[in-house]
Amino acid sequence: MSGKICLDTNIVIRIFRNDPLVPSFFARYSRCILPVPVVAELLFAAKNSARSVENLVIYNQFIDSCTILGITRKTADYYSAIRLQLKCNGKPIPENDLWIAAVTLEHDLPLATADSHFGYVEGLHVYSWRCE
């Protein structure tokens, strides 16, 4: 096992959908990390679903099994630097993804995601997990 990895929301959803790549992926990491914006997106998805009560139980169990990283003053500094870099390069990304990138960079962790736009963030180590 090679340590910790941050998970983007789309990866957690793939876990819940029993993606066949999940077992081999988790065999490589000892701990899954969730930036707090991912937790918020997951809870919204569960509450907004047709099976909200059932999904809230499942989602909360998963969230509780992970380490959650919050947003701090230092995170805000990373956020501002990332946002400026992306603006200057003409490569904006969604607001929550800016925060996810900031948390991930602050803690020097890789990010597992299916979103290619995270590749625009300088210094961010991205584990690309795209649908095929």
CA of 26: how far to CAs of 2, 23, 38, 92, 123, in Å? Answer: 10, 5, 18, 30, 23
Joined together, the tokens standing for residue 22 give: 């999940």
* Dist CA 104 CA 97 (whole Å): 10
pLDDT of residue 130: 60
The confidence band for 19, taking pLDDT boundaries of 50, 70 and 90, is confident
Indicate the helix (H) or strand (E) that contains 67. Answer: strand 67-69
Secondary structure tally for the chain: helices H, strands E: 6, 5
Assessment of whether the complete model's pTM goes beyond 0.85: yes
Joined together, the tokens standing for residue 11 give: 């990866």
| Nearest Cα residue to 99 out of 111, 114, 116 | 111
Residues 52-109: pLDDT tens digits?
A: 999 999 999 999 999 999 999 999 999 999 999 999 999 999 999 999 999 999 999 9
User: Could you give all domains of the chain from N- to C-terminal order, each with its CATH number?
Assistant: 4-128 (3.40.50.1010)
| Nearest Cα residue to 6 out of 86, 130, 124, 90 | 124
Residues 93-108: pLDDT tens digits?
A: 999 999 999 999 999 9
Indicate the helix (H) or strand (E) that contains 5. Answer: strand 4-7
